Amino acid sequence: EVQFVESGGGLVQAGGSLRLSCAASGFTFSDYVIAWFRQAPGKEREGVSCISSSDGSTYYADSVKGRFTVSSDNAKNTAYLQMNSLRPEDTAVYYCAVTTAQVMGVIRSWGLQSHYFASWGQGTQVTVSS
């Protein structure tokens, strides 16, 4: 069973920063992608960013490019999402997820979609006040 420990959410003013972390364990992929998704009330889950353990390649949704940075510590199976210049529209529950690194090419072509991932964290709330 895949387990996640997510942390780092909270309340911040617009323009501020937060850093999320996601530690995953219990999966069998030798190389993997850890991704961040978010879901705001009444909206569909949106792929935000991901990073591959095999080569460190990354993906960002257009809405967060230049503001968010994803990184990882492969020895700890942990990914981080540094979120800067936060906006009220970034308010959402942020989830991490993990899958095989084999899907990274598909992600680059078709975007970060939730159906690529079977294992999900519990989510952490990020609230950005205006």
Tens digits of residue pLDDT in 94-114: 999 999 999 999 999 999 999
What CA–CA distances, in Å, run from 81 to 1, 5, 42, 50, 98? Answer: 24, 14, 24, 9, 14
Encoded amino acid at 9, one letter: G
Per-residue pLDDT band for 92 (boundaries 50, 70, 90) equals very high
CA distance 75 to 35: 17
Per-residue pLDDT at 29:
85
Tens digits of residue pLDDT in 35-83: 999 999 999 999 999 999 999 999 999 999 999 999 999 999 999 999 9
